[in-house]
Amino acid sequence: MRHIEREELKPEESDQLLLLPGGHPPLWNHMDSIGPVGLQQREGAPGCSQEGLPCPSDSSELVLECLQQFKVTETQLQQIQASLLGSMEQALRGQATPASAVRMLPTYVGSTPHGTEQGDFVVLELGATGASLRVLWVTLMGTEGHRMEPQSQEFVIPPEVMLGPGQQLFDFAAHCLSEFLDALPMDKQGLQLGFSFSFPCHQTGLDRSTLISWTKGFRCSGVEGHDVVQLLRDAIERQGAYSIDVFAVVNDTVGTMMGCEPGVGPCEVGLVVDTGTNACYMEEARHVAVLDEDRGRVCISVEWGSFSDDGVLGPVLTTFDHALDRESLNPGAQRFEKMIGGLYLGELVRLVLAHLAQRGVLFGGCTSPALLSRGSILLDHVAEMEDTLCPSSPLAGAARVHALLQDLGLSVGASDAELVQYVCAAVLTRAARLCAAALAAVLSRLQHSREQQMLQIAVATGGRVFERHPSFLSVLQKTVMLLAPQCDVSFIPSVDGGGRGVAMVTAVAARLAAHRRLLEENLAPFRLNHNQLAAVQAQMREAMVKGLRGEASSLRMLPTYVRATPDGTERGDFLALDLGGTNFRVLLVRVTAGGVKITSQVYSIPEDVAQGSGQQLFDRIVDCIVDFQQKQGLSGQSLPLGFTFSFPCRQLGLDQGILLNWTKGFSASDCEGQDVVCLLREAIGRRQAVELNVVAIVNDTVGTMMSCGYEDPRCEVGLIVGTGTNACYMEELRNVAAVAGDSGHMCINMEWGAFGDDGSLDLLRTCFDANVDQASINPGKQSFEKMISGMYLGEIVRHILLRLTSLGVLFRGQQTQRLQTRDIFKTKFLSEIESDSLALRQVRAILEDLGLPLTSDDALMVLEVCQAVSQRAAQLCGAGVAAVVEKIRENRGLEELTVSVGVDGTLYKLHPHFSGLVAATVRELAPRCAVTFLQSEDGSGKGAALVTAVACRLAQMARV
């Protein structure tokens, strides 16, 4: 791995070429030192014209004038960076303009390797190295195995194939593939092939890619506009030798990125400078308009070789660039690539050398047929000439340059070799700086989209320009530092030209497919269909009927002795008490024609009181009431009082409630089995000169219904979905066997958290539910509540994550101690993770705070787990509500029922999708009921006061 230290650049260096091979200072500093010896004429040389040749004093100025065209200032680089970045962002939004011509093409590679990939893969590379084709056999060994070098073979593509019919090209590829495999001793059954196709394509899937246009000297007919994967498959089938599945099509840039060695952190940028040039990077999927996807990441091929903004490229295009473009196969296209790509650098050098020779600066003013022939100087020639500029062996270097130039039929003077090297360095340095400006645009995009002050990123580099020209990377690094100071970049050379990366794309796709199957297998039991939900509805309906009759049932169906909901005529001042946890509230509720006004105060219940004697607990409650009355100026007044007591009770009347058992950390003695209203009245009696009229005891579900009922008279159902869950509703009194009377209504506290304790839900319970139940304080009880409520959903998710980790699907199979900790995964995390407003990086931050270092793939899978668990909870809750409203409708013999449900609870209120899923399930299972859900505000306190107010109203009516 190559990592350049972040050092300060001198101001005067910013507008200069940064480096010459061998550590030489900037090129422009050398121009004045070029002596007249190398500029002298050669008298009588064949093919030379002496007329008009410059005198020695003019030569250095001509060379400087010529090479000055290749100088690109820092300001120009910044303009190119900004323009390219703007073009990238426009293209991502689907607003690309022909002027910029940058294509941001999704590659459908959604994940980078994490080192566990294994298996044998075949790779076919076409277009990565110009006029050749390569076939590789790649074996991946996972994290534990040793590295196995790929076996490969390169085949030269004849010119007539590069320019002929498309079928001929793909038949040639299939033949080479077959020839390569014939020579291998390995088992070649069921082969998976990754196809590296390094040309601009429009991908619509990992194995579907349509060629947009040929580049790099190819011009085969009948291919542009067609799926190249299908063309290869057809050719393999015509060949008939092997059964090969073309699993993925990848360009060389993506292959370079994916081929990074594991252990250096995620490599999320690929950069290739070979015959052509391109880059790719991992973009947030939500930013890619054509995908219509809001989660995860996708690798984008920038295709920056086609960048052609005349506003910023025009000033840096030389006369030589224009000449090269005119003589190319695609005039006017790929303008940026023609300044950087290896296919063109040798030609630019040739044009410069021919120009200088014709001006009399080089070779004594003589040219040669070879020098004037297009394609006579190649990238390899430039590399050899540039590499010889080394102080340690200048004579040997000069001799090599002499030999190369003489092979072109040129007569080389004493200083010609050094001048030619400067030409090579000028062309290459400009290419490196332009490439750096483009890379800086990509890095700026990543840094901005991920909202990181300092982006730490690894960039995989590949291609013969990097391999043959070490100075190219050095210039690139320093220029990137200059243009993107907010990015800390590690440059990692690619392995075997990206072939391993193409195999890795195939392997990652295979791994993700296998992990997807395991994920679906584990989440399938949570995905309930209509028939399963309808069965839950029917079972709950049956349990309701049995409970109302007093028969054995998992639903207690407890009468609350609340016989009516508010009708809006209630008036007066009422006290309300709310005891349901470590905080105790006292409220003054004033009900007027203008609405309800509430004044309240919170008092703490110390742990020693909550777990002490019952007398001590209720004395504390009365002390709080007296304190509140004094502060509100109510001392001496006997106001009607409603008592919200959120513990399991069996009511014998509106003001009689037998405590069945303490929960929520309370264990006060001598209370269970006692009437809590009597215990309160006894405490009032012990406190002299205090008069309190306790009218009603209410649980929080009934309070919620009554609170919403004051706002909407159609509210006849109460629902709590928070830490626990419960429901109540208005039942026909004639159906309530425990209470005498045949007319009117009675609110029934269903205590539906225990639904299924008789085994009726066993078919829906998963092994994860069983794990949570076994570790709970009440195994075998509250079955419905343990599948729905906030106390348990996070634990269910945690157990699923443990299972997926053990299968290697998550966290690379590495168990963490934090994930083993019970209750570490709070239900609030489900609400946060499933929030539509959060990007995936925020989801990752939430999980990483739990000590779960994870990839984007892991974050997506955790999201899916949360969605499955919360969706099942909401659907089961909806099935229960559907059973209740259908019961009300049938009780009243109605074809259509319009009813409202009052709801409270943090899970229902805070989860981004829970309420919508509940409502959708009710519509599906109870289509003849028009149900409105109302969120309760202060149902526990306000509801208790309204129960009291309704009771007072009914009592007054009875007296009248």
Burial (Cβ within 10 Å: 0-12, 13-18, ≥19) of residue 650: middle
**Cβ(6)–Cβ(494) under 8 Å?**
no
Q: Which helix H or strand E contains 632, and what residues bound it?
A: helix 614-632
496, 700, 757, 773: the active-site residue: 700
Number of residues that this document lists for the chain: 960
Q: What is the b/e burial string over 166-175, where b = at least 16 CB atoms within 10 angstroms of the residue's CB?
A: bbbbbbbbbe
Q: 3-state DSSP call for residue 602? A: strand
Q: What is the b/e burial string over 468-495, where b = at least 16 CB atoms within 10 angstroms of the residue's CB?
A: bbebbbbbbbbbbbbbbeebebbbbbbb
**Which amino acid is present at 886?**
E
- Pair of tokens at residue 263: 């252990």
744 φ/ψ sector (left φ>0, alpha ψ -120 to 50, else beta): left
Q: Give the residue carrying structure tokens 């291919």.
A: 223
Hey, what's the torsion of the CAs at 357, 359, 365, 370, to 10 degrees?
30
- Pair of tokens at residue 8: 């300060």
- Pair of tokens at residue 926: 């109870």
Q: Give the residue carrying structure tokens 């190398």.
A: 38
DSSP assignment of 163-226 equals TSBHHHHHHHHHHHHHHHHHT--S--SSEEEEEEE-S-EEEEETTEEEE----TT---BT-TTS
CA–CA separation, 805 vs 336, rounded Å? 46
Q: What is the b/e burial string over 524-545, where b = at least 16 CB atoms within 10 angstroms of the residue's CB?
A: ebbebeeebbebbbebbbebbe
Nearest to 514, CA basis, from 863, 128, 22, 861: 861
111, 415, 646, 940: the active-site residue: 646
Q: How far is CA 333 from the centre of its chain?
A: 35
Other C-beta atoms closer than 10 Å to the C-beta of 231 total 22
Q: Which residues pair with 574 in a beta bridge?
A: 589
**Which amino acid is present at 933?**
F
**Cβ(505)–Cβ(119) under 8 Å?**
no
Q: Which residues pair with 578 in a beta bridge?
A: 585, 644
Q: What are the residues whose beta carbons fall under 8 Å from the beta carbon of 283, sequence distance 6 or more?
A: 92, 104, 297, 298, 299, 300, 445, 449
CA–CA separation, 662 vs 674, rounded Å? 12
Q: What is the CA radius of gyration of the chain?
A: 40
292 is catalytic: no
Burial (Cβ within 10 Å: 0-12, 13-18, ≥19) of residue 216: buried
578 is catalytic: no
CA–CA separation, 555 vs 548, rounded Å? 9
**Which amino acid is present at 929?**
C
585 is catalytic: yes
Q: What are the residues whose beta carbons fall under 8 Å from the beta carbon of 58, sequence distance 6 or more?
A: none
- Pair of tokens at residue 128: 């990565």
Active site residues: 585, 646, 700
